[in-house]
Amino acid sequence: MRVAVVGAGVSGVLAARELATQHDVALFEASDRLGGHAQTTEVQVDGESFRVDTGFQIFNKPRYPEFSALLDELGVATRDAEVSLTVQSDTPHLLLQGTSLRDLLRSGSNFTTPAFYATFRCLVRFIRHAKHSSAVGVTECSLSDFVMAKGYSPTFIDSYLVPILSAVSQMTRDEILQLAMPYVFAILNAHGLLEFTEPPRWKTIVGGSRSYMDRLAEPIQRCIRRDHQVVAVARTPQHVLIKFQDRPVERFDAVVLATHADQALQILADPTRLERRILGSFQYQARVGVLHTDSSVMPSDPKAWASWNYRLTDAGDGRVAFTYDLGKLNGLSPPKPLLLTFNSSAISSKHVVQAFSYRRFVLGRESFEAQAGLAQINGIRRTYFCGAYWGNGFHEDAVVSARAVVERVRHQESFQLAEVGGT
């Protein structure tokens, strides 16, 4: 069977790699780079070269089992990553340090203010609520509604809960407060942040995520077509037609759309009503990160520098700036700090290395409900969908989604040419 895969992020490359063992596969990527959010940049600092990840950065084996198994299968080397959090205000007054209960207890400076005790008590209660989420009525409510109904303190919300969620998702404060509670608990659990005991050991990939993407794509180089912008996918009872801006139309037996949900919907020439409803329920936001060496965005006390540095503004508009210390996260020792900052205009232009833009789907109630409809459109009319948006947006979700599509393609005896549930 001839199969087209559109989109060369981790889910697209993995799906193409595994399908290519049994089928004639073509993998189309609009840009000249594979990997999607797995992006490694080589930076020169005072004559030294460093490779840093600006998209996907860290994982842990207990919560990323399929992704970890894939790295083992590929023989990709990993190293322990330092994961720590500092929250500060513009005054500058250090509010909080640590990512887990154990971190908070270990940090003596936390005990100097009553705010710490209030935050600590709220965190213990929040973890208990998470452990019994089915019993506390969270399915239909947002984080904002939940914390208000349960009486959580503003200090806990703004000094711990929102910063830690922002660290692992790169979402803004307003977006986090509108998160559906199942997503909140799933994200925190995926990062080991709902444990009373020691959190999981975090890992990063030696040489950057490019190392594993190169190995993942190695067996299918002949299948990969970079700079191939797919503008339309037209389906007939017998074939799938892939159309390009300035290239001849190509014909396939099936197509795997490994793009963002809204992009998949956009290129379908004749989406069904169900495809419109499900794929159209996923909303996306652009995130612009700046790679730089300007240490002024970090805490004034170098001892307080963490892997994740969250800064509250005093403007009263809810804006926050978030900075990753890529040296700490990647186990590097550059002569100047290598930092990746989101949502800050305070970076000196002379220190800017490069800006990056990533699109991430919004984890809202609509997307949570839409995910339940995947089986209704996957495999219908010779069309399959995969990507991290079918889960919580992480690499683990991308891998699980890709392998689910591969299994469905392999075991589907005949194509269903009519939409399930009507047209």
The whole-angstrom separation of Cα 321 and Cα 337 is 17
pLDDT of residue 65: 96
Is a pLDDT exceeding 80 seen at residue 317? no
The answer to whether 107 and 97 are in contact (CB under 8 A) is yes
The answer to whether 284 and 360 are in contact (CB under 8 A) is yes
pLDDT of residue 83: 82
E-strand ranges in 328-414 read: 339-342, 352-361, 383-385
The 10 Å CB-count burial string (b at 16+, else e) for 215-243 is ebbeebeebbbeebebeebebeeebbbbe
pTM to 2 decimal places: 0.87
pLDDT of residue 303: 80
Domain boundaries, the chain: 2-32+226-282+363-411, 100-193
- Of 351, 347, 369, the C-alpha closest to 139 is 369
The answer to whether 133 and 194 are in contact (CB under 8 A) is no
- Of 78, 70, 72, the C-alpha closest to 10 is 70
Average pLDDT, the chain: 85
In the CATH scheme, what is the code of domain 2-32+226-282+363-411? 3.50.50.60
pLDDT digits 0-9 by tens, 186-236: 888 877 777 666 667 889 999 999 999 999 999 999 999 999 999 999 999
CB atoms within 10 A of CB 410: 13
CA 61, 67, 72, 77 torsion: positive or negative?
negative
- Percentage of the chain with pLDDT > 70? 86
- Percentage of the chain with pLDDT > 90? 51
Average pLDDT of span 54-70: 93
Is a pLDDT exceeding 70 seen at residue 32? yes
E-strand ranges in 293-400 read: 308-312, 320-325, 339-342, 352-361, 383-385
**What is the residue whose two structure tokens read 């399959």?**
384
The whole-angstrom separation of Cα 107 and Cα 305 is 13
pLDDT of residue 404: 96
The answer to whether 318 and 173 are in contact (CB under 8 A) is yes
Which one is predicted more confidently, 129 or 133?
Answer: 129
- Euclidean distance between the first and the last CA atom of the chain, given in angstroms as a whole number: 26
Which one is predicted more confidently, 112 or 271?
Answer: 271
Average pLDDT of span 357-374: 85
